[in-house]
């Protein structure tokens, strides 16, 4: 990857974009903050903050339940946001968009509901070796309950899925594949279209964890032909506590509900309950209305900037960061996939990542340190954790220069 300086190729007005994010103007430990942890949670633009505030100040009422005007206004705003999500991921229909708390709940919903209906003793669930804990533990729970087995497709030393081995593992026992689109630790972009085609050739549905993909690239669930796709609002510059599960209608109709209560019912008697149509079947109780509206505003903001421009800019940031970080003596990159999103994980000599991260914090630089909720992946590389710098379109060359200078200072202090 050629390390072009981002400012020479970007079509984005980075200075204006940074002004849209109020947190980026504050100091940290007496220095202007450099925020390089967007893979954990992205910052929020003013338009998202204002959309949430406007709802609570002028529109708040419960949705889908009131005949009065205020409730109708809130319902309209809520459902308009659902339509925005449909358009953002190119889903066939809005009823296939289920609002959840985030990717973790999206995966738990599918593991529980699909597993209760379709898994039996001796069946298999296939995941990959680079999964986040949220795409491991829910499947372990349902496999233990059903007597099924969790299988793990291997990766190579560059952190790439070994596609031939993945295909070999698609046996007649596999009932579902669950995979990340982009590794939160390595930045590896998995070949989802090819993986789905391989699985579908055996009649196996596929769930994709899109938490780390949706902020960085355009997603078309129809082109990918995925059966389930889930992402979190707080990764795409929206609020925390809200997310999306897309599911093909045939699967959502076949699965039992996840939660019981209000909103997800058609009729209730003490003898029997019939369930509401999609999407309400999976949206029990009062939803996070403000979160949904804020998510809609976040998607508007991304669309205004343009995902193609975002992808191009972040790719050049990534290349520049790798080029500059190579100047650090003793650095070791964890994850060197050819197809990679804007995440860099690294270690330096025998310095513990926590120590390096602590010194960077004192310099006003926020990076993530630790196992990044991918402990099995850390075991694969025989390391306790890494330092992870993750970039968004509001980051700059100057941010990367300060990161590199900070790492060099930390190495001089700790080496």
| pLDDT tens digits for range 330-342 | 999 999 999 999 9
- Tell me, what CATH number does 273's domain have? 3.40.640.10
Residue 149 half-sphere exposure toward CB, CA atoms < 13 A: 9
The answer to whether residues 60 and 22 belong to one domain is no
The answer to whether residues 22 and 117 belong to one domain is no
pLDDT at 10: 56
Task: Answer whether residue 9 shows pLDDT above 80.
Answer: no
The answer to whether residues 298 and 324 belong to one domain is no
The answer to whether residues 208 and 90 belong to one domain is yes
Q: Band of the pLDDT at 415, cuts 50, 70, 90? A: confident
The phi, psi pair for 31, rounded to 5°, reads -130, 150
Task: Tell me whether residue 339 is exposed, middle or buried, using C-beta atoms within 10 angstroms of its C-beta: 0 to 12, 13 to 18, 19 or more.
Answer: exposed
The answer to whether residues 188 and 313 belong to one domain is no
The answer to whether residues 76 and 137 belong to one domain is yes
Scored b (16 or more CB within 10 A) or e, 153-173 reads bebeeebbbeeeebbebbeee
Compute the distance between CA of residue 242 and CA of residue 373 in angstroms, rounded to an integer: 20
Compute the distance between CA of residue 190 and CA of residue 170 in angstroms, rounded to an integer: 17
Scored b (16 or more CB within 10 A) or e, 363-372 reads bbbbbbbbbb
pTM comes to: 0.95
Instruction: Please say which residue of 277, 303, 329 terminates a domain.
Output: 303
pLDDT, tens only, 186-232? 999 999 999 999 999 999 999 999 999 999 999 999 999 999 999 99
The answer to whether residues 176 and 208 belong to one domain is yes
The answer to whether residues 193 and 284 belong to one domain is yes
% of residues, the chain, pLDDT over 70? 97
Beta strands 343-348 and 331-333 are antiparallel
Compute the mean pLDDT over every residue in the chain, rounded to the nearest whole number. Answer: 96
Whether residue 1 is contained in a domain is answered as no
Q: Band of the pLDDT at 65, cuts 50, 70, 90? A: confident
Whether residue 62 is contained in a domain is answered as yes
Q: How many domains does the chain have?
A: 2
The answer to whether residues 39 and 155 belong to one domain is no
Whether residue 12 is contained in a domain is answered as yes
List of E strands, 41-159 = 97-100, 124-128, 149-153
Q: Band of the pLDDT at 2, cuts 50, 70, 90? A: very low
pLDDT at 8: 41
Mean pLDDT throughout 259-266?
Answer: 93
Catalytic residue of the set 113, 143, 373, 382:
373
pLDDT, tens only, 393-408? 999 999 999 999 999 9
pLDDT at 102: 98
- Tell me, what CATH number does 27's domain have? 3.90.1150.10
pLDDT at 3: 46
Radius of gyration of the chain (CA): 22
Domain with 325 in it? 6-44+307-414
Whether residue 127 is contained in a domain is answered as yes
pLDDT, tens only, 304-318? 999 999 999 999 999
Compute the distance between CA of residue 120 and CA of residue 103 in angstroms, rounded to an integer: 25
Residue 388 half-sphere exposure toward CB, CA atoms < 13 A: 26
Compute the distance between CA of residue 67 and CA of residue 44 in angstroms, rounded to an integer: 33
Task: Answer whether residue 255 shows pLDDT above 50.
Answer: yes
Taking alpha carbons only, the member of 378, 386, 388 closest to residue 129 is 378
% of residues, the chain, pLDDT over 90? 96
The answer to whether residues 59 and 167 belong to one domain is yes
Q: Band of the pLDDT at 7, cuts 50, 70, 90? A: very low
Q: Which two tokens stand for residue 206?
A: 């596929």
The answer to whether residues 374 and 256 belong to one domain is no
The answer to whether residues 279 and 184 belong to one domain is yes
373 counts as catalytic: yes
Whether residue 36 is contained in a domain is answered as yes
Instruction: Please say which residue of 271, 286, 303 terminates a domain.
Output: 303
Instruction: Please say which residue of 303, 329, 347 terminates a domain.
Output: 303
């Amino acid at each position: 990857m050629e390390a072009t300086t981002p400012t020479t190729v970007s079509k984005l007005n980075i200075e204006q974009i940074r002004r849209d994010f109020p947190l980026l103007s504050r100091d940290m430990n007496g220095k202007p903050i450099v925020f390089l942890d967007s893979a954990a949670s992205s910052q929020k633009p003013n338009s998202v903050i204002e959309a949430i505030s406007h709802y609570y100040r002028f529109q708040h009422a419960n949705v889908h339940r009131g005949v009065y005007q205020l409730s109708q206004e809130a319902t309209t705003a809520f459902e308009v946001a659902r339509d925005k999500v449909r358009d953002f991921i190119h889903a066939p229909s809005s009823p296939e968009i289920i609002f959840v708390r985030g990717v973790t709940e999206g995966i738990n919903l599918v593991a529980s509901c699909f597993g209760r209906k379709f898994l039996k003793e001796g069946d298999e669930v296939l995941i990959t070796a680079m999964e986040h804990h949220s795409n491991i533990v829910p499947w372990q729970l349902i496999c233990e309950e059903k007597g099924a087995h969790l299988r793990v497709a291997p990766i190579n030393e560059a952190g790439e899925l070994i596609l031939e081995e993945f295909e070999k593992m698609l046996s007649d026992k596999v009932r579902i594949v669950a995979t990340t689109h982009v590794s939160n630790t390595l930045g590896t972009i998995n070949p989802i279209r090819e993986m789905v085609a391989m699985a579908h050739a055996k009649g196996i549905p596929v769930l994709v964890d899109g938490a780390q993909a949706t902020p960085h690239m355009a997603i078309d669930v129809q082109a990918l032909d995925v059966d389930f796709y889930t992402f979190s609002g707080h990764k795409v510059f929206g609020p925390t506590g809200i997310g999306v599960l897309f599911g093909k209608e045939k699967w959502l109709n076949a699965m039992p509900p996840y939660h019981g209560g209000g909103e997800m019912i058609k009729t209730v008697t003490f003898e029997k309950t019939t369930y509401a149509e999609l999407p309400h079947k999976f949206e029990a109780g009062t939803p996070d209305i403000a979160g949904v509206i804020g998510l809609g505003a976040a998607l508007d903001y991304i669309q205004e900037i343009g995902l193609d421009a975002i992808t191009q800019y972040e790719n050049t940031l990534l290349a520049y960061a790798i080029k500059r970080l190579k100047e650090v003596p003793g650095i070791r990159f964890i994850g060197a996939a050819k197809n990679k999103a804007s995440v860099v994980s690294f270690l330096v000599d025998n310095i513990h990542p926590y120590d390096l991260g602590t010194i960077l914090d004192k310099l006003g630089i926020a990076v993530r340190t630790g196992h990044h909720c991918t402990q099995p992946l850390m075991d694969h590389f025989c390391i306790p954790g890494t330092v992870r710098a993750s970039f968004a379109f509001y980051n700059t060359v100057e941010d990367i220069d300060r990161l590199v200078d900070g790492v060099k200072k930390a190495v001089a202090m700790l080496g």
